[in-house]
Amino acid sequence: MERLGNTSTRSSGAGGGSSAGFIARRDRVRFLGRRSPTRAGLMTLLLIVTTSSRADAPQETPFAEVFAQLAAKLVGGVVNISTTQVPAAPIPKGGPEAQLPGPGAPLDEFFRDFFGEKGAPGAPNPPPSRVASLGSGFIIDSSGLIVTNNHVIANAEQIAVTLSDDTTLQAEVVGRDALSDLALLKVEAKAPLPAAIWGDSNKAKVGDWVLAIGNPFGLGGTVTSGIISATARDIHSSPYDDYLQTDASINRGNSGGPMFNLAGEVIGINTAIFSPSGGSIGIGFAIPSSFARPIIEQLRISGKVERGWIGARIQPVTDDIAEAVGLDKGRGAMVAAIDPASPAAQAKLQPGDVILAYDGKPIDRSRQLPRLVAETPPEKPVKLTVWRDGKDQEVDLKVAALNPNRPAPPAPEPEKPKPPPSVDALGLKFAKPTAELRKQFSLPDTTRGAVITEVPQNSPGATQGLRPGDIVVAVGHETVGSLEELQQKVAAARKNGRKNVILRVEREGNTRFIALPFEAG
């Protein structure tokens, strides 16, 4: 038996045939355990969905027909996008194959058709050929505003939009934003265009049915269906990842196309796939509408996106770190470093603080915070709930505007150490940052703290990724100025009854917190 969640594909002009007579009604599906669990009864429940036999039962629409009706209604608002551009680098001699993206690359990446023939051996390279790429988009305003992915139109010399009636129009870029991978285009049409309607992705649940419409492999308008497989998915493509995951079939060329719910509303913009082969294996990702819509509105108004910034570098709070600082579980975002000229510095946030709530919104996972900050208008005052010294504290700050060219926060400069030659602690060996060690580990002359010189294999420190040359600059909130201070502060932390101690570790100018068990030493 094929389950209803299996992906199906058909062209936008085709009718929607029923799957083996399946008729689905949510209020009529019978679940296991609601009747006598006989073998025959179980098999019946697994194989069929019952319908009412009452004469007065209302006429029902087969589920497949619902999809067909939705598709017919929605395809008019979806467009195909083609661009031409000259590659930034010359195409090597010898007629290379089109470079398609590897696993997890965005869907742009459509198909690169290189023109020209192979050069003879020893002949000079021909002039750069033009690259044609294909993608998708959808109309959000009858005046001709079109949403797509930024990577669909990046570096394009010309952008052509083909409507569902095969009319082709030239498009201009209203605005684009690389960080969110969103872009807004404008076409001039002779008549009002059919526009899609935004929906609320925050209401989407795992298991909800969705339709994806786009231009896979340049074939033209194509409709596929599936379910939402996961929400709030992080694929490490940007600090703001919060994707909807779907098993609807999306492929190269679907980039920028809409994901619809069964109300016919756009709840996502298809953007990326995970695939070892480059084709769909049922793992696709869409930017949620709740994230995309405010950005598109900024692009419509000003052609650019302004983001909030507080100047705090953060890291996840593991269960070990939570135990070491007295939290009930791993939650929030731990401050690892602070820009001295930032709102965080002015508000007296400290490395080691754990941000538990931002502007009244709880922070369960650290990656929630960058998105919340980015969505905050500059100059807006916000209140943070911070865990410090074993208790909650309220911190007020005013959000600033993000400058993409702003340098990363510099490493802190603790007091100059006065250490003994070396010490052992927590299963690691430490030494003062002598000239020899600074040279051996390429440390700056300003290095302060305790240098890790040995990390035993398979030790807790090795498991946490520590390595010789790392510098411990603080234990918890307290700066380490010498090896003696390191020992004293570790001993003091042990007396507090914790199982773990927090070390603030610096490497190549970046800092993070590590939780190590006392039993390691």
| Low-confidence residues of the chain: pLDDT under 50 | 1-55, 57, 90-123, 408-421
What's the confidence (pLDDT) of residue 1?
28
Total-model pTM = 0.62
- Active-site entry in 82, 108, 136, 151: 151
pLDDT of residue 113: 35
Active site residue 255: yes
Cα 38-40-43 angle, rounded to 5 deg: 105
What dihedral do alpha carbons 329, 331, 337, 343 form, nearest 10°? -130
Q: What is the pLDDT of residue 340?
A: 86
DSSP code of residue 59: P
Q: Which distant-in-sequence residues (6+ apart) come within 8 Å of 281 by Cβ?
A: 273, 274, 275
User: Which of 108, 181, 320, 470 is an active site residue?
Assistant: 181
Q: What's the farthest any 2 CA atoms get from each other in the chain?
A: 92
Query: DSSP for 297-331?
Result: HHHHHHSS---EE--EEEEE--HHHHHHHT-SSS-
Q: Which two tokens stand for residue 157?
A: 């010399």
C-alpha to C-alpha distances, 204 to 138, 195, 241, 290, 297, nearest whole angstrom = 20, 21, 17, 11, 22
* Euclidean distance between CA atoms 22 and 150, whole angstroms: 40
The pLDDT assigned to 80 comes to 94
3-state secondary structure of 227: strand
Q: Which domains does the chain have, with CATH numbers?
A: 1-22+62-117+128-305 (2.40.10.120), 308-401 (2.30.42.10), 422-520 (2.30.42.10)
Beta strand 197-198 with 265-273 is: parallel
Identify the pLDDT of residue 130: 62
- Angstrom distance (rounded) from CA 332 to CA 347: 18
Q: Structure tokens of 361?
A: 């919104």
Active site residue 181: yes
SS3 for 427-489, per residue?
CEEEECCCHHHHHHCCCCCCCCCEEEEECCCCCHHHHCCCCCCCEEEEECCEECCCHHHHHHH
Q: Which of 180, 255, 280, 342 is labelled catalytic?
A: 255
Q: Is 289 a catalytic residue?
A: no
DSSP run (H or E) holding 293:
helix 289-302
For the record, the structure tokens of 72 come out as 């017919």
Q: 424 is written with which tokens?
A: 């052992």
Euclidean distance between CA atoms 187 and 55, whole angstroms: 53
